[in-house]
Amino acid sequence: MSDSVELSPVDLEILRLLQNDARVTNKDLAAAVGIAPSTCLDRVARLRDTGVITGQHASVDAAKLGRPLEAFLFVQVRPHRRPLVDPFIEHLLSLPEVRAVYHLTGPDDFLAHVATSSAGELQRLVLDELTSRDEVARVHTNLVFQHWSGGPLLPPGA
């Protein structure tokens, strides 16, 4: 069973435009997709109500906030059981350096995207917040030199 929602071409265009600029006014959005502002407001509300739109976010430059060193931490947790996993995720999400956490398949259990002020702070994060925990069996660190964001996410074939 699929959780996907039936979307019209207008809905898809609304999603594309909002993902490119979530600050666009309803009036400008409506004009861009060729519908009345009241109709546009209803469509955006429906996209929120059905869970297609899950929020609005500000993109932040980590370096400008004093966190120029970004890395991906691949973490193996042993034993990989819910009584250890849930508190571990909570711990990761409580750390100010953590930007995102992913639960994975394969040899690593988690991927944490982090941003720190320096290599020393990254080392402190790994040693004091991760490998010091009994359930953490291994941490593999990859530094991020540069990143690019993809375009708007739309359904297959849209």
* Residue 55 domain-assigned (yes or no): no
Tally of CB atoms within 10 A around 141: 16
Indicate the Cα dihedral angle 71, 148, 92, 84, nearest 10°. Answer: -100
Instruction: List the structure tokens of 77.
Output: 């947790």
What was the pLDDT predicted at 2?
59
Residue 42 belongs to domain spanning: 9-50
> Do 88 and 26 lie in a common domain?
no
What was the pLDDT predicted at 1?
42
Report the chain's C-alpha Rg in angstroms: 20
Q: Any idea what the CATH number is for the domain that residue 40 is in? A: 1.10.10.10
What are the mean pLDDT values of the chain's consecutive 10-residue runs (158 residues total)? 82 96 96 98 96 92 97 96 94 98 97 98 98 97 94 87
Q: Any idea what the CATH number is for the domain that residue 116 is in? A: 3.30.70.920
